[in-house]
Each structure stands twice: as C-alpha cells, then as structure tokens.
A and B are shown apart, each in its own frame.
Chain A
Amino acid sequence: MSDTTPHGLSLRGLTLELGSKGSAKQILRGIDLDIPAGSITGLAGESGSGKTMTGLAICGLQPAGSRLGGTISYTGPRGAAPNLLALRPRAMNALRGREIAMIFQDPTASLHPMITIEAQLTDGMRHHLHISRSEARTRALALLSRVRVPDPETALKKYPHQFSGGQLQRIAIAIALASEPSVLIADEPTTALDVTVQAGILHLLRELCDTLDLAILLVTHDLGVMSALADTVTVMRYGEVVEHGSRYQVIREPQSAYTKALIDALPHPPAENTTEGQL
C-alpha cells in the first residue's frame, strides 16, 4: 500500500443477487463507483434502483441469503483492504463502525427507543477503541457539541423520544462518527425530516466532510438535496449506473434520457436555485 493511493472506497463491478439460484433476482448488475476522501459522492435513483442496497453492501449488511460479486477496495489512514467482500465476517465486523460508518433515513427508527443516548453513543467506541467509560463519556460530549446538539450533558441522559427528528439525526451522525471512521454512508439522511431542518443536517455533513476528510456516500432519491451537496453524482436505475459525472455536469447537461426525466420531474429546476451558500 503506497501513500499515492487516494483514500476512500472503490467499487468495481459490484453485483448482488437475491433469492435461490434458480429464481435469482439481480439487484445490482455491476456497479462501478469511487467514493474518495474529502468529498461527497451522490448516488441517486428511484426506489428499487439498488442505491440503498449498494450502501448496505459496502457495510456488509446485505440481506441474508444474497450473493455478492465484484470488488470493494478500501484505503484509509489506518490501513487498506483490497477487497472487503473477501474479508471474513469477523474482520468485516471489525471494520464496520470503525472504518466505515452508516446513518439511516429515519433516526426515530434507527436509534433504540429504550436505550439512553449515552449508551448508544458510547457502546460502539468502547468496543472499537477499548476506552474506559469516563473517557468514552468525554468523547461523547465532544461529539455532541461537534454536531451542535444543545446541552450535551443533559442530552446524554435522555432517550430518543425526547428529541426532535432533526436533533436525533445529529445524534445519529455523532454515533456514526464515534470511532473516527473515514467513510460515512448516508442513506437518505434528510428524507424523514422536516424541510426546515433538512438544510441544517446537509450543512453539517458538508462541514464534517471537509474538516474530517471524510469520504461520504450520499444515497438519496432527492435530486434537490443531491444538487445542493454532492460533488459528484451517480444515477442508478434497475441496478445499473446510467449516468456519472460532476454535480454540474449531471444536473445541467444530463446525458441519459432517464436523468433528464428525473430532473424534469423536479418542481423547480435545481441548478438555478440551489447553491451551497443557500443551505
């Protein structure tokens, strides 16, 4: 492994099949995708296009009984793996949360309703970093301030139902960042939130990406969100990549008919009214 290899993830020919051999269903049909550190890679497509499955496959959380093909190579500051798919389950579990973290669509569903924020925030880092309870608590406080959750001290003692959706998603981001991963998979991170708090979350993701040199994969069906945040955009349909390019290229001059249709379906043409400054 040389330092010249750029940090981040690289997917080559990723395939995923569900179901028994006879009646297998192709969910992913050879995805090529680069998720470099320090930038936000957008993955767009309608539901059923395989974008969420791509995110799960990177974390090794594909549904039981599915078969993966191709390679996912990872290079990070602490080491590299030429193919995540070839790792033993144990080794993959050690990477999960430590190198590659994930946030989900609905924070009210992805946080356990009966466990305190402190326990949910610290169990991952205590597992991966082998630190003491008090050390973990100090880190948790710092993380909560970092994602701008007000009053971190009291927040730690609370339960998820005592927060609003926007605050919860910030907490979920803090949980994802707890063990200092270098890749963050964000699966529809703003879809379940009120429009008024969406911008705040997106802004936070951008900031974290820039300051922590994170490689972020932003999975969303919302081209508005995509055009506001992503550096590069990949459009998927039926398990295949139909378009790939920089944000401006894809939004302003879409090549495929499908992307054009998606963009035309937006209520307002996004390129005109969204820039980062407006977030």
Chain B
Amino acid sequence: MSRPDLQNPVPLDPALDAPTAGAATRLRFAAVRSRLRLPSAYRRPMAVIGFTIIALWFIVAIFVPWIAPFDPLAQQFDRLQPPGPVNWFGTDSLGRDVLSRTLYGARISLPLALILVVASAIIGSVLGAIAGYFGRAVDEVIMRVADLVFAFPTIILAMIVTAALGPSLTNAVIALLFVSWPSYARVMRSMVLGARSREYVVAGRLLGFSPFRSLQRDILPNVAAPVLVLATLDFGNAILLLSGLSFLGLGATPPTPEWGAMVADGVQNFSDWWLAAFPGLAIFTVVVAFNLVGDALRDSLDPRTAGAVQGVKI
C-alpha cells in the first residue's frame, strides 16, 4: 500500500489537473528556492575567507595539544614578558605563555558556542514551530514569553541568571540559552505561518495527513535553511556574549584560558597590552568569520525569507 508522495505528486484526476499540475510545479520550485544555494554562497570571496578562518580555528581547537608551543596552565616563564622569540605573544601575570593560552581558548569558546547555538536553535525552533502551527492560545503564551525575554538586554538578563546560578562556564551557557531562544522562535513561527497556508501543505492536510506529519514532511525541510542561516549569524553573537560574561567574571573561572577572562586580565595590567590584545583578536576573527559566512548565506536565501532572518537580536 503506497501513500501519495507529496515530493513527486501525481495528478489526482486528469480532469482537474490544470491547477493541480500548476501547484505541483510551484511546489518543486518553492522547495528548491528556499533551500540554500550553496555554490553561489561559496563563490563569494568574503564568504570563502570567513569559511577558511572558521576551518582554521576548528583545526586549532582539535589539534591544539600538538600546535601550542607550551602548556597553557604552566607558570614557567618570567611574569609579564612582552612578545619575544620564545613567547611570541608574551607571558601573563602568572608567567604563562599567552600564545598557548590563546590557542587553547579555541577549545573552550568554540564547543561552548556550538552547544549554545545548537541548543537554543532547537529549543527556539520547536517552540516557534508549535506556536506557529497550533496558533491561538499556544501561540499567544509562547510568543508573549518570547517577547518578554526579548525585551530584556541580553547581558543583563544573563548576568541575573549567572548571579543566581553562580559563576561557571556551564552556568553562563545556561544563562545565555535562557536569553537566546526567542529569535529562533520568532523566525520559525513566521516561516511556519507562511508555509502552513501554502498549497502543498494544504494539499497534504486534505489528503488526511496528521498535523505532525505535515509539519515534519512538508514544513520543516523548507524552514530549515533560514534557521541554519540564523544559527550561523548567531554563532558570532554567542562567542561575544560568552566571552563578555567571562570578561565580567561571571563565566570562566581561573585558571581556564578563556578569551574573555584573558582580556579581563589585561584590564588589571592594562599597560601590558599583549595580555588583552591577542585573546581579543581571537574573538574578533572568529566572530567576523561567522558573520561573513552568515551574511553570504543570508544573501543566498530568497529575499522574503532573508527578511525574517534579519530579526536576529544582537
């Protein structure tokens, strides 16, 4: 027994097939259009630069024990030495090698930002999809809560949460999770609202598919692209927020070589510029790279979808 396949629709009745066939071609077209056109995105030079930087940082994060010249935690050099032939990025106030600490920082920031982005994308998308698909009271409740969280300056809300949970990197991620899901919920909801009324979804419902089946088969594949783009753009944001909290002393605790915490060390000894300069540069390059790739991906979406993605909170 085979169910009608919406991906390869067969005209139900030749007598009625004129509009159906039209809808079918539009279906294919729509499906293709809202997926990412990756080749064109990667032909852009800026996107290629961004992608290369990201790839390099991930390689550093994975292979850092072989790349870093010294142990990031060993207090084995003279304190506060400026950059020189042994310590390329100088040493910090405890005599640790800044270059090694900066490289090891990738192992902390990148995975945590990844976890944060993936988790908030999942939570936000699920909530947004539920809100958009079921509408009415469910929609109202979810989106009002989203508005409320959205209404708050991110860092301050995250500060309150980390203050409540106690400073640690895990708690910083939890705090940021708390504040970063609404943008996904908004995008997902608007995409689902748009998709829900499309012909192919309506056709699916008329064929007797359950709401979840149509959500899963017809809607999700089409809204995945914008969420992916949003996540890419959000990644840089996640790095900035995480390092910001660590900078304030609400994230990483000593002696963790976290970039934001290392910049905070630089505030204590601000005449020794190398303490803050290199970890800050590390944050900057990662964030720029993700923004470059995210921009290119967004430009390759069709304009209406791209408009929804622009609502990202920064």
* Contact, chains A and B (beta carbon distance below 8 A): no
- Residues in B lying within 8 Å of A, measured CB to CB: none
